[in-house]
Structure 1
Amino acid sequence: MTEQRTAATYPPMVAILRGVTPDEIIPIAESVYRAGFRYIEVPLNSPNPLESIARLVDHFGDRACCGAGTVTSAEQVEELASVGARLVVSPNCDPQVIRSSLKYDMISMPGFFTPTEAFAAISAGATFLKLYPAASLGADYVKNLKTVLPGHVQLLAVGGISLENMDIFSRAGVDGFGIGGDLYKPGHSKAEVADLAGAYMKMFAALKDTN
């Protein structure tokens, strides 16, 4: 089974652990994993991100899809592949980054802002699209996008997502979410993160049941 097919079985919820350190990555990641998150992202502008990702890979194995965010070059993709990362999340749409990720059988979640960028990402092979910054664009933007996006593409809303606005984006048609600063900030304890992660996954499950 390829990585793309394996990850398709995971709930499309990404825990964005920006600023996490290697020494705290496992307890924090365990908190979100136990809540139900299976995509775990360490942005590359975090302290020693490759070390944190290597520890995640060693700890979770194939139980979770762990990797990096803020990936903007094919060279960074190669570095991630060398530590066993399985997830590549980008703030932008760079077909070279997408193709490089797929070459290593990694999940690519490119960011996009316009329909042109969305279809460029799809043409490069992406099946997950990260609408960013989603809160700035709004739910009506999502509704319009969904009328033209292919059905196999999973649309994630990222940027300004909170427990208060998940519902409107879910009703507009997004498939999942990336949760960052509202889930984890440097200094948060694993107990705080566990509570927030549980609340987000509970909300996600409720939205899937009703929308």
Structure 2
Amino acid sequence: MALEISDKLNVAGVMAVLVIDRIEHTLPTIESLLEGGVGAIELTLRTPIAWEAARLIKKTFPEVLLGLGTVLTTDQVRKAVDWGVDFAVAPGCNPKVIAEAHQQGLFFGPGVMTPTDIEMALEQGCKVMKFFPAETAGGLKHLQSMAAPYHFLGLQFIPLGGCNIGNAPMYLGSPLIHSIGGSWIAPQKLIQAQEWSQIKNNAAEITRVIREVRSSALV
């Protein structure tokens, strides 16, 4: 199951990172993303209504690939599985949380920024990791250097933190990249302002970029 979700996220190419603080904003946000072609979501657990929003998304849009972000405890992992969430990611690399996710069959991307982080994740059986914070850590150049000693293992990474429409093609063009995550697609300020058309446009733009990068790779 976890491998299947990993494959689906890889095919999607991008996940929209969401911070939703009003439950009534949940469905219009998801509708706008879907209309723009983005069907993979990372809903961060940073607001009081996040869990309620997750349940609403799964009930209303079962086709959405729904992940939770900022998953920091084993209890959150178990709750995510109970609520039917598809995947989870974390900013850091906590072996206990990773182990629980694997035991529960939940696809989980631990956050890595150093070779030590990578080896901690490897010890828990991870082959796909969240590269965070991507841009302030040195971007793709840093990732390429950091991952080079592990090339023979076929690791892949999900960069988050500073990804945007300008650098998305660079990341997506690298074989190291599994998919990318970005809060620029539906940033909190646009959600709060109910700028649904702009969110839709942002989603359509990254969908177009993904299509173009993949088409170029086939030439």
Partner SS state of residue 135, structure 1:
coil
The unaligned stretches of length 5 or more in structure 1 are none
Match of residue 31 from structure 1:
32
For 1:116-142, what per-residue CA distance to the aligned partner results, in whole angstroms no more than 9, with x for missing partners? 112221321323211111111222112
Conserved 8 A contact 2:5-2:87 = no
For 1:43-93, what per-residue CA distance to the aligned partner results, in whole angstroms no more than 9, with x for missing partners? 1112411100111111232x2321311111111112222322122110111
Note the C-alpha offset of 1:176: 1.9
Conserved 8 A contact 1:4-1:105 = no
Tell me the amino acid that sits aligned with residue 178 of structure 1.
G
* Pair 168,117 (structure 1): closer, same or farther in 2 beyond 3 Å: same
Percent identical among aligned pairs is 20
Conserved 8 A contact 2:20-2:49 = no
The 5 Å alignment of 1:132-211 reads 132-136=132-136, 137-147=138-148, 148-150=150-152, 152-172=154-174, 173-185=176-188, 186-187=191-192, 188-211=194-217
* Pair 58,200 (structure 1): closer, same or farther in 2 beyond 3 Å: same
Conserved 8 A contact 1:20-1:42 = no
The unaligned stretches of length 5 or more in structure 2 are none
Instruction: Report the TM-score when normalising by structure 2.
Output: 0.85
Conserved 8 A contact 1:12-1:156 = no
**CA separation in 2, counterparts of 1:81 and 1:165?**
33
- 1:59 matched to 2:56: no
Partner SS state of residue 191, structure 1:
helix
Conserved 8 A contact 1:86-1:105 = no
For 1:4-52, what per-residue CA distance to the aligned partner results, in whole angstroms no more than 9, with x for missing partners? 2244133231111113432221221122233333321111112411100
Match of residue 104 from structure 1:
104
Note the C-alpha offset of 1:146: 4.0
Name which structure has the greater RCO, CA cutoff 8 Å, separation 6+. Answer: 2
Tell me the amino acid that sits aligned with residue 106 of structure 2.
M
Conserved 8 A contact 1:142-1:174 = no
Aligned residue pair count: 209
For 1:88-122, what per-residue CA distance to the aligned partner results, in whole angstroms no more than 9, with x for missing partners? 11011112112212222222111111121122213
